[in-house]
Amino acid sequence: MVNGLVVSMGYLDIANNTLAELMALYHGLKIASKERNSFHYYAATIANIQDLLKLEWDVSSNEAKFCIWESPPLDMQDLLLSNAMRVPYPKA
């Protein structure tokens, strides 16, 4: 549900932001796994995803899969405060 509205992706009525984002990632990766199509409306973004997929990723896990901090790391505090205050910032 986004702002009280049910997000519809294809035949799915998704009432959960996390599921909607996961489904978007899934379908986006499916599109990116196909050959490059320079005429696609989102060709540049798809090409960026395809380039990321070619990188060597280290996805090894460690013992600490979940961690709760008493406070966020120092280098994240300003970013989190700005986000909480809804400070606008330019998007890349």
- For residue 78, the model assigns a pLDDT of 86
pTM for the model:
0.44
- For residue 15, the model assigns a pLDDT of 63
Which tokens go with 12? 């799915």
Q: What is the mean pLDDT of each run of 10 residues along the chain (92 residues)?
A: 50 66 85 83 88 81 69 85 82 64
- For residue 61, the model assigns a pLDDT of 63
Radius of gyration, alpha carbons of the chain: 18
User: Pick from 10, 47, 54: which is nearest to 32 by CA?
Assistant: 47
